Structure 1
Amino acid sequence: MIKTRLISTGLICAAFLLGAPEMYGQKTPGKDQAKTPVNLKDPQNLGPALSAKQQDSLAKTSKYRDLAWTAQADKKWQASFNQEQGLAYLAESRLDDTTQTAQRQNLQERLRVLDKKTIFDVAYHPSLESVIHLFLTEKRDLMERMLFRSQYYFPLFEQELDAQGLPLEIKYLAMVESALNPTAKSRVGATGLWQFMYDTGKMYGLEVTNYVDERQDPVKSTQAAVRYLKKLHQVFGDWNLALAAYNSGPGNVNKAIRRAGGNRNFWAIRPYLPKETSGYVPAFLASMYIFEHAGPLGLKAAPLAVPRHATDTIQVKQWMEFGALAKELSVDSALIAQLNPQYKKQVIPYVEGERYGLRLPVEAVGRFVANEKQIYAQLKPAEQARRAQVEAMVQAAPAVTRYKVRTGDFLGKIADKHQVTVKQIMQWNKLKSTNISVGQSLIIHGKNTGSSPAQNAVAASEKSSTSTTNQSDTEWYEVRPGDTLWSIAQKFKDVSLDQIKQWNPQLGNNIQPGMKVKVCSCTP
């Protein structure tokens, strides 16, 4: 494949690219000073410290502690991810922040060598240099945490990529998407290692229920991401463009190509891409560069105590909760949660015809298989009590759907369709006005949700008292804030929405507070 290269001139800051530790806040060891490696098991390096009880629990299961410790990093990254929108956002904010250095040639040479080893176009660009600098300075601690996690996730990614004939370097894309956090969630709802939106996940077979979110399943989400990326590459014939389309959608990339006069080089179309996507590919290339040169750049990670090849899966035959299972197997529940992030409530459901797996360290799998009947029997009483508790929570939680605004829609019409009020839709979506636009996504909760039991009781009482009122005394109804034609019809006995519309043809669906609505067939 012929790669189009865009080499920029100018004085660029790249002293950090020599890999000199002192450039990033590290001390350079002298002749008599031993270099101390970064201890990634230290909670100070992985986020908030654990409680004394948690530390004692982990100390008793030290052979499982690595992934349990890294859970603290997950929490720390989760907070920064929601605030910063991932590495692509960080990259976008620093794309053109570069200064002079005499070491630019060193970076260019390294990139030339890397370019020969990969199918991706990693030619030098000032924006790429700026992102590398950002990641190696301000986000160096995050890079080391991801280097630690990559030992667990990269073998899985490489296996799935190789099976589909895709470049193994695509594994670095998950760093940009989620910082290798399987439970990462963006402010717009993208979830998991590969940040699938709900609809896209459904298209690629990822199940989302009250108990399970397969977008957080490392295996299934990786398989889905690989299929999606393969399709995008077939469309664009260029991996940089395929990655940009993964982030912003094929439509935005095609639009950027047209605005760039048909030029299909990423750097040429970057000014025409959405703001975050403009930093997306540079973030990917910077991540690839840093991890391919982790040693020379001074990045270190402690080895995993439980690497992926030291785990295995079993199919469960009974509803079970992580905490109770952990006690039976003498495995820390935090480790079980880390190995099985797809289970949202730390319980594994049992549904006839469905196959739900449990990943455990191989030693624990052996103990489980050898004592399977006894373990199921021991778990039964505790599981029944816990199951009743969780299912009560699930039933109490409202069903949530997303509605995409169509031409001709307005909040009153949407509220009528879903049998909710305009006020509820505005509250659920934090709308400051009733103005909506075509294509806008709205969160809609199930019927009568968003109210407390007391509020529902009051509403039922009001409806009952209103329904028993003589219709001759309630010929007209004055519209109140939040009312819709459907909600008005519900206030009166034997009055339907169709009747309200028939008696008030002049209103259509557009009603405002203070209007009078006829609520009976009586003549004036």
Structure 2
Amino acid sequence: MVIGRILAPIFLLPALLFGALFFDSDSNREAEIVRAFDLPPAFLNDPKLQKIISKKRTEYQRHGFFKSLNQAYLFIPMIKDILVHSDVPDEFLFLAMAESGFSIDAYSHKKASGVWQFMPETGRTFGLQINDYVDERRDLVKSTKAAITYLETLHARFNKWYLAAIAYNCGEGRLYRAIKKAGTDNISVLLDEKKRYLPRESRNYIRKIVALTLLASDEDFMINQEYAYLLNRANAYSIAQVKVSRGERISRVAKLINMPAYKLTSLNPHLKYDFVPPKNTQYTIYIPYVKLNEFRQNYKPAPLETFYMLHHVEAGDNLSRIGKKYRVPYKMIKEFNRLHTNMLRIGQKLVIPLSKPLDLKNGKYTVKRGDSLEAIARIFETTVSSLKKLNNIKGSLIRVGDRLSIYD
């Protein structure tokens, strides 16, 4: 049993949203906020910013400011904790709100996903795994760290936080061309409504983030919107990170720590199935901090018969052939995947319950009848080129009984 680092509990008090910022007056509060984004004080007088603030205030007075935060009360302290220990201003918490409304399930028509709305390519660039088993754009800790790294990269290039925020929305290339065309990175010029150096969405993007930040810093407004209720919910329910064995089922862990499986699943929305990826020896999941002692006392690695992985149906596959490949009765595969017939379609994904982790010993796999480099690469979440390089394979031919190194 290995316990991961515990996320420090951060209480969701008024200071949660703004760390150590203390204001003597509304004007000082507003000045500190625009300064955090490297914006000039005059930006507060921007007519469109004031219009957005007024609109948002009306919306939130009608529906409650924390309607979009209601499902986020568990992880806002976690995001804040990560931001506090970075060079990114705390106010960028509201970039996430502008991107997704703090919805874990947010998914755009452009295929952006998660609270920070990463595109697949950008997510992978900043270290997020996106594969058959997980989509770490929806991992609240990893995606937040990736977003911070991305924002720091953008700030290093453009040297102002408001430019980093705009680039996060429209892309580095698009912002660079806008600055070149405008001949300046001055915010009032870049947001010119007639020249339209930037897309309309990007022109309003920085305004929306600043508007949300200003509203969240208005203590009178927040208290009037039943703020205290959500603060107390967050105080009682912080998160801890723990490590489980590969292929472990989330539902089994939930049972061991006496909580409903659906609640534990909701804390791990990056997992596509009820089990963690089979590639690594261990995998980190999130549990309520109050359940940490129960986990320490009750968790032991799952027995081998609960090891799971995915199989992609290929041309020529049938349940019998797949069962022989993994040494699993085909009826078990059919039952586990709730198949009503024996008919399969190419590209279909089947969950395979294994009796042992595919004979992977000391990082080596023994080739069996019907194996191919493509299939082995997919199973172990690696690439054909990597397998060829590690095993000095020139073509694509492999033989039954060959021992292949899987990982470097």
Cα distance change of structure 1 residues 239 and 219 upon mapping to structure 2, 3 Å threshold = same
**Cα distance, 1:183 vs. partner?**
2.7
Q: 1:218 aligns with which of 126, 134, 140?
A: 140
TM-score scaled to structure 2, two decimals? Answer: 0.62
**Cα distance, 1:233 vs. partner?**
1.2
Aligned mates of 2:71, 2:219 — CA distance in 1: 14
Moved more, 175-184 or 283-292: 175-184
Q: 1:323 aligns with which of 227, 247, 251?
A: 251
- Correspondence for 1:251: 173
Query: Is the 2:69–2:102 contact (alpha carbons within 8 Å) kept by the matching residues of 1?
Result: no
What is the CA deviation profile of residues 245-264 of structure 1, one whole-angstrom value per residue up to 9, with x for unaligned ones?
1110122112222333x232
Q: 1:175 aligns with which of 88, 97, 108?
A: 97
**Cα distance, 1:234 vs. partner?**
1.6
Give secondary structure in 1 for the equivalent of 2:93. helix
Aligned mates of 1:358, 1:166 — CA distance in 2: 26
Cα distance change of structure 1 residues 241 and 182 upon mapping to structure 2, 3 Å threshold = same
Give secondary structure in 1 for the equivalent of 2:87. coil
Cα distance change of structure 1 residues 334 and 351 upon mapping to structure 2, 3 Å threshold = same
- Correspondence for 2:266: 338
Aligned mates of 2:254, 2:314 — CA distance in 1: 27
Quick check: 1:280 aligned with 2:202?
no
The one-letter amino acid paired with 2:100 is: S
Q: 2:36 aligns with which of 114, 119, 137?
A: 119
Give secondary structure in 1 for the equivalent of 2:75. helix
Give secondary structure in 1 for the equivalent of 2:302. helix
Aligned mates of 1:219, 1:188 — CA distance in 2: 23
Percent of aligned pairs with the same residue? 27
**Cα distance, 1:139 vs. partner?**
5.3
Quick check: 1:130 aligned with 2:47?
no
Aligned mates of 2:96, 2:27 — CA distance in 1: 21
The one-letter amino acid paired with 2:198 is: L
What is the CA deviation profile of residues 337-391 of structure 1, one whole-angstrom value per residue up to 9, with x for unaligned ones?
22212112232233244x4112112343322221223x835xx66x46xx47xx3
List aligned pairs for 1:115-514, cutoff 5 A: 115-116=31-32, 118-120=35-37, 121=39, 122-138=43-59, 141=63, 143-149=65-71, 151-260=73-182, 262-270=183-191, 271-296=196-221, 298-301=224-227, 302-303=229-230, 305=233, 307=235, 310-353=238-281, 355-373=282-300, 376=302, 383=306, 387=308, 391=310, 395-396=312-313
Moved more, 155-164 or 236-245: 155-164
Aligned mates of 2:32, 2:302 — CA distance in 1: 55
The one-letter amino acid paired with 1:316 is: V
Cα distance change of structure 1 residues 174 and 194 upon mapping to structure 2, 3 Å threshold = same
Give secondary structure in 2 for the equivalent of 1:245. helix
The number of aligned residues is 283
Query: Is the 2:78–2:141 contact (alpha carbons within 8 Å) kept by the matching residues of 1?
Result: yes
Give secondary structure in 1 for the equivalent of 2:175. helix
Give secondary structure in 2 for the equivalent of 1:312. strand
TM-score scaled to structure 1, two decimals? Answer: 0.49
**Cα distance, 1:308 vs. partner?**
8.2
The one-letter amino acid paired with 1:327 is: K
Aligned mates of 2:314, 2:70 — CA distance in 1: 37
Query: Is the 1:211–1:344 contact (alpha carbons within 8 Å) kept by the matching residues of 2?
Result: yes
Cα distance change of structure 1 residues 360 and 307 upon mapping to structure 2, 3 Å threshold = farther
Query: Is the 1:306–1:361 contact (alpha carbons within 8 Å) kept by the matching residues of 2?
Result: no
What is the CA deviation profile of residues 137-190 of structure 1, one whole-angstrom value per residue up to 9, with x for unaligned ones?
235537312344554333323332332322111111110011112231111111
Aligned mates of 1:454, 1:231 — CA distance in 2: 46
Give secondary structure in 1 for the equivalent of 2:245. coil
Query: Is the 2:83–2:90 contact (alpha carbons within 8 Å) kept by the matching residues of 1?
Result: yes
Cα distance change of structure 1 residues 139 and 314 upon mapping to structure 2, 3 Å threshold = same
Cα distance change of structure 1 residues 252 and 371 upon mapping to structure 2, 3 Å threshold = same
Query: Can you give the 5+ residue segments of structure 1 that lack an aligned partner in the other structure?
Result: 1-108, 399-452, 457-524
The one-letter amino acid paired with 1:285 is: V
Query: Is the 2:74–2:239 contact (alpha carbons within 8 Å) kept by the matching residues of 1?
Result: no
Flag the structure with larger Rg: 1
Give secondary structure in 2 for the equivalent of 1:244. helix
Give secondary structure in 2 for the equivalent of 1:194. coil
Query: Can you give the 5+ residue segments of structure 2 that lack an aligned partner in the other structure?
Result: 1-24, 316-342, 347-408
- Correspondence for 2:378: none
**Cα distance, 1:285 vs. partner?**
0.7
Aligned mates of 2:185, 2:314 — CA distance in 1: 47
Query: Is the 1:111–1:124 contact (alpha carbons within 8 Å) kept by the matching residues of 2?
Result: no
Aligned mates of 1:142, 1:208 — CA distance in 2: 35
What is the CA deviation profile of residues 459-514 of structure 1, one whole-angstrom value per residue up to 9, with x for unaligned ones?
xxxxxxxxxxxxxxxxxxxxxxxxxxxxxxxxxxxxxxxxxxxxxxxxxxxxxxxx
**Cα distance, 1:209 vs. partner?**
1.2
Give secondary structure in 2 for the equivalent of 1:316. strand
Give secondary structure in 1 for the equivalent of 2:286. strand
Give secondary structure in 2 for the equivalent of 1:296. helix
Query: Is the 1:172–1:288 contact (alpha carbons within 8 Å) kept by the matching residues of 2?
Result: yes
Aligned mates of 1:200, 1:337 — CA distance in 2: 25
**Cα distance, 1:291 vs. partner?**
0.6
Aligned mates of 1:111, 1:252 — CA distance in 2: 34
Aligned mates of 1:247, 1:143 — CA distance in 2: 23
Query: Is the 2:75–2:239 contact (alpha carbons within 8 Å) kept by the matching residues of 1?
Result: no
Aligned mates of 1:286, 1:366 — CA distance in 2: 41
Aligned mates of 2:266, 2:243 — CA distance in 1: 17
